[in-house]
Amino acid sequence: MSQLPRPARARRRRVAAVALALLGLLLAPAALPSAASPRSPSGTGPAPAATRVASGGTAALAGYAIRSTAEVPDTAAAVSTPGYATAGWHRAGPRSTVLAALVADGTHPDPFYSTDQQRIPRGDFSVPWWFRSDFTLPDTSERTSLDFSGVVSAADVYVNGRQVASAADVAGVYTRHELDITALVRAGTNTVAFRVRPNDPRKHLTLGWLDWLQPPPDANMGLVRDVLVRRRGPVSLHDAHVVTRLELPTPSPTATATVAAAAAELTVKAQVRNDSQESATTTVTATVSGTGIALREDVTLRAGEVRTLILSPDLHPQLRLAQPALWWPAGMGAQNLYGLDLTATVAGSRSDSVRHTFGIREVKAPLNSAGARQYSVNGRPLLIRGAGWSADELLRWDTTAAEDRIRAALDAGLNTLRLEGHLEPDEFFDLADRLGILTLPGWECCNKWEGPVNPSGSGEKWGAADRLTARASMAAEAARLRSHPSVLSFLIGSDFAPDAATERDYLDALRAADWPTPVIPAAADVTTALSGPSGMRMPGPYDWVPPSYWYDKREGGATGFNSETSAGPSVPTLDTLRRMLSPAELETLWKSPSAPQYHRSPSPTYNTLKLFNDALARRYGAPRGLGDYVAKAQLSQYENVRAQFEAYARNATDASAPSTGVIYWMFNSGWTSLHWQLIDRYLDRGGAYYGAKKANEPLHIQYSYDDRTVAVINRRPAAVSGLTARVTLFGTDGTSRYDRTVRGLQVGGDGARTTALTVPALAEGQDLPDSTYLARLTLTDGAGREVSRNVYWLSTRPDVLDYGSSDWYHTPVTAHGDLTGLKSLAAATVTATARTTQHAGGRSTTTVTVRNTGSRTTGSGNTPALLTDVRLVDGLDAPVLPVRWDDNQISLWPGESAVLTAEYRAADVRGGAPRIRVSGWNTPTTHITPDPS
């Protein structure tokens, strides 16, 4: 057995399993999005119209005609010549993989349903494919260039019959290329053609899917970012950015997000290049929106000379801001942004201009006394509450869909999204800046990116060309991401840190780009000579563990910064399952707990739901049908995800080994999945999502599984006083076994905690009808308003963990808690009324009042309606998605009511007016039609 430290050894075993699975998939036949997948710009029909590029303008190629080189006998010179006939070619959008285009035009079936992905032949993608597009120019009086990244995996590039770059130069999805094509273009129609090489994430510095999902048969080969055609005058501007330095006031216990920084200094930088054959003098003007800053400087350049222009506050005092508008994460303050405009003129005529958006904020992440990263933004520490982000499996980009997902993450109380590879396009980070969610981008584990350092990974070792590609990738992404205030750090390693030479290359590239935030050597617990300790750890788990697991400060429990962890499986709602699985697969899901599940993972470690299903049956009882299985899964996922976030929140203020960050693995999936997701492919939200949303409330009351304490967590900036906490314990027969109220509680801001009381241990036989009982926690403010409600289902028999037998993905359980008493809860009657209001801009709001009117069973009038779920559906009872509910999956005792509000796009309601579906653990399903406002 390896003598590596346990976390490293653990992940090596995970990587080996993934590698074996990927090898099997590469040898297997192949199969992807359905109607609710992000809208693809690809489609059938003629080749896209030529992209018009105006004088002095920049335009992205509008789309491509694509075809396998195996079906194109003509030469590259012919294919890249204007007028070449593309009858029979497929149409692709401006950012498209090959498979995304072929699915969009109906060539291949929806690979997100059942095992349809296996019907797509992988051999079709073993040869290069042509991506061909036309653009028009009004004249040839300006410099013209192609500017692009996003090639998967490499490409030979041709313009108007001439090769301008080879695949040896245009390699790697993250490298950026600017190709001067001035001598080749003509007035009128021009053609650019990319001969895109096949991708293999084991062999190329691109991207793969690890153990997340079944990888697409084309391995994402294509052009997945915009290809820009730029026109400029003789002098051009490059690498424009603003370096900010913040001087914060002395911290105060009463400081809030509204306190202005003492000062900020801005330094404007740009490269000015003379592209002409003679010397030139250019006047560069710079303005910064919202500040009144307006600067100009004359620069004289020799022919072909490049010079770095630096406008510093030492020479331009205007660049000192006494009252800057800071950028804050959501919930901590406003997301203020500034705009830099630079223009270069020559002889009174505009030669080039750029616009650059930035925010002013300061991120620090020192190591605390326990060696963990403790992040702060603008001097205020914060617990990182994050989750892993996944791109679409076919790398299709849809800004609306991405915004829906980011808003859902914020609504769940998350403040950070981690991107392990799959670094999304600019619009993603623009959204993150605007909406206020932090991001943790970094390189992938286990494939080519870790080839030199991961002995059990699938990635090949690097050659000299790979090292150049890696350095160029780091330089390009550093320049692209450095000014986004949402970017918290860059992780230059994932499961393993880079070797010393690569780390030096990465750090040099980041330094050259004026990278402003902490650089982390790996997401794992490692130390490097140049970067020092990572301050992070990744001990797992990745599969099922009980809720109590998260409270122990060992393995994946709540201490330090856990960069990726969760209890693994996440079974979606019944609505989603019926959209993604065949009837036979739905039967297998609940009848065969050990059966392989295609929609879980290609890894043999994760390709079944056995651990989850065994625990579900032992804790809740064997499923009696598909509906019963899904209902129990939602209860299990709710309690587990809630416990994970609550444990990290409770331990964040501990004096010894506090928790500083947790990344739930993962937030979303790139396809229809049965694991690692808080929200499913269609943005439907089940127990896992609402467990996170409950745990991450701004002001929250919670129960601790380890010591039975009840705590209040306040994530708001300001302290709160005059709070009242009440805890009531109930048997499953509805009778109260304990009831206590604590008044006059106060709690500080920014994640502070106060302990209200300790709940007594109940034992079977203490007048309990069984070993299951319920805990209702409520928190009210000084005016008596309920500000937090939390309901737990607990067992007098604890889950017993065998820590000595832990492996890298879970800790075994030798005895399970008994929650089967929930089956004996009497049926509850929940009534509902609703009203829908139409708003400007195509938005609608439906307000639903739900009330528990009492039990149907005589003598048990205190039975709650457990996990009452309210859904907005259309006329066919299909869920309207996406929908944001301010609260949901709530538990109500007889006589209690709640008002829930749903916000959604009116256009997403199909088949008439929306309806409301009400259901729950012990609540029969009913439907109502909302009244119009």
Contacts of residue 482, Cβ cutoff 8 Å, sequence gap at least 6: 241, 513, 514, 515, 516
Question: Tokens 């129609």 belong to which residue?
Answer: 189
**What is the three-class DSSP state of 661?**
strand
Continuous segment of H or E residues that includes residue 615: helix 610-620
DSSP string, 35-75: TTSPPPS--SSSPPPPEE--TT-EEE---EEEEEGGG--S-
Dist. CA 481–CA 357, nearest whole Å? 11
**What is the three-class DSSP state of 180?**
strand
> Which residues sit opposite 884 in a β-bridge?
903
Residue 522 near residue 495 (C-beta atoms within 8 A): yes
Contacts of residue 227, Cβ cutoff 8 Å, sequence gap at least 6: 60, 61, 94, 133, 146, 147, 148, 192, 194
Question: Tokens 């009913």 belong to which residue?
Answer: 926
- In this structure, how many other beta carbons lie within 10 angstroms of the beta carbon of residue 59? 17
- Catalytic residue set: 495, 564
Residue 577 Cα distances to 581, 586, 603, 626, 909, angstroms: 6, 8, 21, 10, 20
Residue type present at position 506: Y
Burial degree of 125 (CB within 10 A; 0-12, 13-18, 19+): buried
Question: Tokens 């302290």 belong to which residue?
Answer: 719
| DSSP code of residue 216 | P
Q: For the chain, percent helix, then strand, then coil, each to nearest 5?
A: 20, 35, 45
Q: What are phi and psi of 662, to 5 degrees?
A: -145, 135
Residue 360 near residue 325 (C-beta atoms within 8 A): yes
Residue type present at position 32: L
Structure tokens belonging to residue 714: 């306040």
Structure tokens belonging to residue 798: 């604890």
| DSSP code of residue 461 | P
Q: What are phi and psi of 162, to 5 degrees?
A: -120, 140
Residue 311 near residue 331 (C-beta atoms within 8 A): no
Question: Tokens 């109502």 belong to which residue?
Answer: 928
Dist. CA 497–CA 854, nearest whole Å? 59
Contacts of residue 309, Cβ cutoff 8 Å, sequence gap at least 6: 268, 269, 270, 271, 272, 284, 297, 299
Quick one: how far is CA 258 from the chain centroid? Answer: 28
Structure tokens belonging to residue 178: 């600017």
